[in-house]
């Protein structure tokens, strides 16, 4: 096992946030689930409601809440990964050891993503409450999970990139949050502005250029994952490609920075 | 072991090293001194593979550092000027991590870690957290970590800074032991007395270039006898008679005669010193003290750089 992965996981689970964050995360998801149930059942007579009328909105609320919460948490784990080594002057020790820049990066990335995965896995029972009501199957849960993991892998890689650029954790975390905001809100606003110019009806009539900002949008990616299997192309697969490329680009740039980081070590 | 030639390193166009050259033989305990900002840390970082030179050649054990990073890292142990430790790790855990990071053989790991703890005299505290250690113990742990993979060359950047006198003595003892066991050591320090005690040679560096001492040499030989020795002679009463007697001997230079203290530079060895003492006694001066005093590294440093070490 890569010693970096072992070290990172050991140290992370030793921190107070190692158990505080999962607890808060699950409490929030539970609250969202309860709220969704309350709103779904508050619309009319309980006897008129189908199970799917409760299950589907509850599932969607929890899935979007989960992605939003993890988009808020992922920068905390990734953006400080390399800056903390610079701040506590331990980066020189890593760079002069026989660990390669990729091993250092992989240790940091795997630890960040595994912590996020821990949250996702611990949230699966909450997400699966919807099964009890119906209207939601394994496919939807699997697609929500896969889309969320891909988005968070990209955000973690981007956080690590900013962590390799800056010397201070506060700067790297701020810029990572700015990037997340740009991906989730700015892309949506740009799309809305573009749509206000475009007057043709129907999603299929919107040009690729106009839709392209949305391919960077994590919420859009998750939404497209709820399509039936034969409708995953083009939108979901395009999002997958964009997030995959973002991840690869961030990895390449981080490795480049790590090789040149002797001055800040 | 180390060959540096015409080394240039610039940061955004500002030169940190400019045509620096250095040669350290295998088995040497070599010192590097110079004012703050002279380029000592930059040089050591280049040798430790952390920085790439802008120009010039840097070889360690015959290997070009820039092209053989992994091989160079195998034989080099680097201790930075600002010690970096994982405060929330236990001591054994910390050493285990670096044993893995340096690919220390699994079968040898336990023995290597035990030896490192023993060397740092921290066997009893192996389950303590690093943050619980004093600064001196942290430095010991860092040196032990640096030695885990059995480096042949140690690069130490200001290792004694912040240590109390006992810890400094302990560090000197450890470095002498390592050197006696065949480890080549390049050490930069502002504590010149330490370098004088342990180093065989010391190079002077200023503004990124080799600097020459008062005698015109860029490297000060500390282990070899010098041809001119300085003696302090304290007499009871005025120094006039003693001074006249000393000046009558060829090859003697009276440096100063203030109060009852006479400072004399003598070319030669023990026989010449004995002759000087005899002449002083015969002159009728009452000799209270007759001491050999070498020109200290600090004095040579001051002569080279014109002011006390910052």
Long-range pairs, A40-45, Cβ under 8 A, ≥24: none
| Nearest CB neighbour to B101, from listed A14, A97, A262 | A97
B185-240 residue pLDDT tens? 999 988 777 787 788 888 888 877 877 665 566 677 665 445 567 788 898 888 88
Asked if B49 and A96 come within 8 Å (Cβ–Cβ), the reply is: yes
Q: Quick check: B42 pLDDT over 50?
A: yes
Domains in chain B with CATH codes: 2-221 (3.40.50.300), 228-293 (3.30.70.100)
Closest chain B C-alpha to A249 CA, distance in angstroms: 24
Interior angle at CA B207, CA B201 and CA B210, nearest 5: 35
Q: What confidence tier does B309 reach under pLDDT thresholds 50, 70, 90? A: very low
Dist CA B85 CA B90 (whole Å): 11
- The angle, 0 to 180 degrees and rounded to 10, between the axes of the packed helices B135-146 and B165-180 is 10
A57-105 residue pLDDT tens? 999 999 999 999 999 999 998 999 999 999 999 999 999 999 999 999 9
Dist CA B224 CA B174 (whole Å): 22
As to burial, measured by CB atoms within 10 angstroms (0-12 exposed, 13-18 middle, 19+ buried), residue B219 is middle
Dist CA B189 CA B199 (whole Å): 11
- Answer whether A175's CB lies under 8 Å from A80's CB: no
Enter the tokens of residue B216.
Answer: 């015109």
- Answer whether B30's CB lies under 8 Å from B186's CB: yes
Q: What is the structure's pLDDT at B310? A: 40
A contact test, residue of B90, B96, B101 with most A CBs within 10 A: B101
Residues in B touching A11 (Cβ below 8 Å): 86, 88-89
Which residues in chain A land under pLDDT 50?
none
Number of A/B CB contacts below 8 angstroms equals: 68
Q: Quick check: B252 pLDDT over 60?
A: yes
Dist CA B271 CA B117 (whole Å): 50
Dist CA B76 CA A260 (whole Å): 19
B contact test, residue of A9, A97, A263 with most B CBs within 10 A: A97
- Answer whether B293's CB lies under 8 Å from B226's CB: no
Dist CA A139 CA B49 (whole Å): 51
DSSP B125: G
Dist CA B215 CA B229 (whole Å): 14
Q: Quick check: B256 pLDDT over 60?
A: yes
A contact test, residue of B68, B86, B87, B102 with most A CBs within 10 A: B86
- Bridge partners of B229, per DSSP, are B266
Residues in B touching A99 (Cβ below 8 Å): 101
Q: What is the structure's pLDDT at B184? A: 94
Instruction: Determine the 3-state secondary structure of B142 from DSSP.
Output: helix
Dist CA B276 CA B287 (whole Å): 12
Q: Is B83 on the interface with A (CB under 8 A)?
A: yes
Residues in A touching B93 (Cβ below 8 Å): 10
Length of chain A: 265
Asked if A96 and B97 come within 8 Å (Cβ–Cβ), the reply is: no
A contact test, residue of B84, B146, B155, B158 with most A CBs within 10 A: B84
Q: Is A167 on the interface with B (CB under 8 A)?
A: no
Kind and range of the H or E run holding A179: helix A169-181
Enter the tokens of residue A123.
Answer: 């949230």
Length of chain B: 310
DSSP B129: B
Q: What is the structure's pLDDT at B239? A: 84
Dist CA B44 CA B46 (whole Å): 5
- The residue to which tokens 């066991």 are assigned: B181
Residues in B touching A96 (Cβ below 8 Å): 48-50, 73, 76, 78
User: By percentage, how much of chain B surpasses pLDDT 90?
Assistant: 26
Q: Is B105 on the interface with A (CB under 8 A)?
A: no
Q: What is the 3-state secondary structure (H, E, C) of B244-272?
A: HHHHCCCCEEEEEEECCEEEEEEECCHHH
| Nearest CB neighbour to A265, from listed B50, B70, B149 | B50
Q: Is B191 on the interface with A (CB under 8 A)?
A: no
| Nearest CB neighbour to B102, from listed A92, A95, A97 | A97
Asked if B86 and A14 come within 8 Å (Cβ–Cβ), the reply is: no
- Answer whether A225's CB lies under 8 Å from A218's CB: no
Asked if A89 and B87 come within 8 Å (Cβ–Cβ), the reply is: no
| Nearest CB neighbour to B100, from listed A3, A262, A265 | A3
Enter the tokens of residue B85.
Answer: 């430790």
How many Cβ atoms from other residues are within 10 Å of residue A91's Cβ? 23
- ipTM for the predicted complex: 0.83
Asked if B101 and A3 come within 8 Å (Cβ–Cβ), the reply is: yes
By CA distance, what is A99's nearest residue in B? B101
């Amino acid at each position: 096992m890569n010693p970096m992965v072992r070290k990172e996981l050991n140290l992370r689970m030793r921190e107070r946030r190692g158990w505080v964050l999962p607890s808060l995360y699950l409490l929030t998801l539970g609250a969202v689930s309860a709220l969704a149930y309350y709103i779904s059942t508050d619309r009319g007579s309980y006897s008129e409601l189908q199970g799917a009328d409760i299950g589907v909105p509850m599932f969607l609320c929890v899935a979007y809440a989960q992605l939003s919460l993890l988009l808020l948490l992922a920068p905390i784990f990734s953006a400080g990964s390399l800056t903390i080594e610079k701040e506590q002057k331990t980066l020189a020790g890593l760079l002069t050891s026989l660990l390669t820049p990729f091993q250092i990066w992989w240790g940091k990335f795997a630890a960040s993503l595994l912590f996020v995965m821990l949250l996702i896995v611990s949230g699966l029972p909450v997400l699966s409450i919807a099964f009890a009501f119906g209207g939601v199957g394994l496919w939807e849960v699997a697609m929500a999970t896969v889309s969320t993991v891909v988005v968070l892998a990209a955000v973690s890689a981007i956080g690590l990139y900013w962590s390799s650029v800056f010397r201070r954790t506060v700067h790297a975390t701020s810029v990572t949050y700015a990037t997340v905001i740009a991906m989730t809100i700015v892309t949506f606003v740009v799309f809305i502005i573009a749509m206000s110019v475009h007057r043709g009806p129907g999603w299929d009539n919107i040009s690729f250029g106009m839709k392209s900002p949305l391919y960077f949008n994590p919420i859009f990616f998750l939404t497209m994952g709820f399509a039936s299997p034969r409708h995953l192309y083009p939108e979901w697969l395009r999002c997958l490609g964009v997030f995959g490329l973002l991840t690869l680009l961030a990895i390449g740039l981080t490795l480049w920075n790590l090789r040149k980081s002797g001055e800040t070590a | 072991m180390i060959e540096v030639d015409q080394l240039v390193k610039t940061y955004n166009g500002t030169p940190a090293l400019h045509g620096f050259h250095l040669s350290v033989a295998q088995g040497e305990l070599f010192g590097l001194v110079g004012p703050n900002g002279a380029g000592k840390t930059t040089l050591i970082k280049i040798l430790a593979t952390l920085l790439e030179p802008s120009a010039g050649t840097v070889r360690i054990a015959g290997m070009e550092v820039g092209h053989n990073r992994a091989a160079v890292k195998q034989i080099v142990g680097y201790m930075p000027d600002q010690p970096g430790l994982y405060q929330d790790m236990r001591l054994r855990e910390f050493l285990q991590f670096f044993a893995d990071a340096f690919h220390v053989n699994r079968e040898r790991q336990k023995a290597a870690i035990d030896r490192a703890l023993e060397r740092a005299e921290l066997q009893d505290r192996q389950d303590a957290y690093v943050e619980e250690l004093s600064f001196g113990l942290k430095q010991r742990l860092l040196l032990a970590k640096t030695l885990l993979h059995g480096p042949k060359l140690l690069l130490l950047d200001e290792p004694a800074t912040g240590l109390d006198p006992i810890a400094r003595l302990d560090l000197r003892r450890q470095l002498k032991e390592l050197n006696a066991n065949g480890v080549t050591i390049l050490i930069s320090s502002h504590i010149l007395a330490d370098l004088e005690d342990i180093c065989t040679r010391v190079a002077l560096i200023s503004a990124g270039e080799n600097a020459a001492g008062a005698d015109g040499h860029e490297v000060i030989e500390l282990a070899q006898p010098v041809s001119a020795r300085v003696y302090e002679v304290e007499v009871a009463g005025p120094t006039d008679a003693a001074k006249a007697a000393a000046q009558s001997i060829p090859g003697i230079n009276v440096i100063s005669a203030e109060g009852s203290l006479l400072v004399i530079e003598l070319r030669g060895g023990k026989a010449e010193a004995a002759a000087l003492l005899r002449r002083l006694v015969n002159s009728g001066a009452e000799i209270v003290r007759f001491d050999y005093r070498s020109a200290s590294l600090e004095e040579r440093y001051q002569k080279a750089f014109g002011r006390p070490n910052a």
